[in-house]
Amino acid sequence: MAIGVFDSGVGGLSVHHALVRRLPSADFIYLADQAMTPYGGRSGEEIVSLTRAGCERLFDEGCDLVVLACNTAASVALRRLQQTWLPGYRRDRGRPLNVLGIIVPTIEAATGLPWTQETERLGDRDRGDKIERLDVLGIFCTPATAASRVYEIEIDKRRADVAVFSEACPTLARDIEAGAPEADLRADVEAHVRALTRRIGRPPDRAILGCTHYEITADLFRAALPAGTPLIHQPGATAEAIALYLERHGEYAAGSGGARRFLTTGRPGAQNGLIERFWGGPLTFDAA
């Protein structure tokens, strides 16, 4: 048994990295849908069906639990899959299977509040207080994640004193995936930081790299944002949440051999230099 980690490409490695550090003896299978990357400009229906196919592939490999290490898949497809597909699939397979995302842990980290279904009540309570100071949160993400407005909606329900501004970066994940030169990535990151700053009227107080690919270029974001702007660390928040989930749910076997497998629907082999640098060594993918 193993934990499955799914992304459209190599971005989810940032979450995988944090998961491996948090759960060193668990077995992991990482699946990159590089044949279909990037997801960020695709329609909702395409994202749902590609995400479902990725989960099925990982369940077929013996995973019980799949982590969608992709904001685009999690914001567009996760709820649909949990409500419409997963219950029947789990019944047919006759074993406990689940799919979790990275949005909830990120929102918990951004709001400092645990996730609760009673958001209406929480929202009403917060809204009664006078807001002394607005905390402006910038989200850099794909067009599909920005269009879903998931961060705006969920954070607004929980914290009326946090204003969320999303900045869609249509080409950044694709360029990271393709191993574009760092100078090109830097220029793109700087342009998006400038665009968001212009739209807000000042730089954000905090930021979320709301696409797992962007973590690989976190240094470029740090350099483009005013010095010291806190970045909410999505991989760390996710790894912590998954570890707590596994403690509470003994029915999901995470394995204990520390095995790591990397699969791709694209071209098997070594990843580009930027990814290897981020990973800290050579990283080879097998055909999915």
* Token pair belonging to 86: 């997963």
> Which residue in 37, 106, 148, 265 binds ligand DGL (CB under 6 A)?
37
Nearest distance in Å: CB 25, ligand DGL:
26
Rule CB under 6 A: say whether 238 interacts with ligand DGL. Answer: no
Is 211 considered catalytic here? yes
Backbone angles phi, psi at 204, to 5 degrees: -65, 155
Judge whether 55 counts as a catalytic residue.
no
| Residue with tokens 């029947």, as numbered in its chain | 88
Is residue 146 part of the contact set for ligand DGL (CB under 6 A)? no
**What type of residue sits at position 179?**
G
Contact criterion met (CB below 8 Å) for 51 and 77: yes
Quick check: 145 binds ligand DGL (CB under 6 A)?
Answer: yes
Catalytic residue among 55, 63, 70, 169: 70
Q: Which residue from 139, 213, 217, 233 is in contact with ligand DGL, where contact means CB under 6 A?
A: 213
Sequence-ordered list of residues with C-beta below 8 angstroms from that of 177, at least 6 positions apart, any chain = 9, 10, 11, 34, 37, 38, 213
- Two tokens, residue 214: 């962007």
In the bound state with ligand DGL, the residue whose beta carbon lies nearer, of 76 and 253, is 76
| Residue 234 found at the interface with ligand DGL (CB under 6 A) | no
Strands annotated E in the chain: 2-7, 28-32, 63-68, 98-100, 135-141, 162-168, 206-209, 231-232, 260-264, 269-270, 284-287
Minimum distance from residue 250 beta carbon to ligand DGL (Å): 29
**Segment interacting with ligand DGL, rule: CB under 6 A, options 107-115, 185-193, 208-216, 255-263:** 208-216
Active site residues: 70, 211
- Binding residues for ligand DGL, rule: CB under 6 A, are 7-9, 11, 37-40, 70-72, 142, 145, 173, 211-213
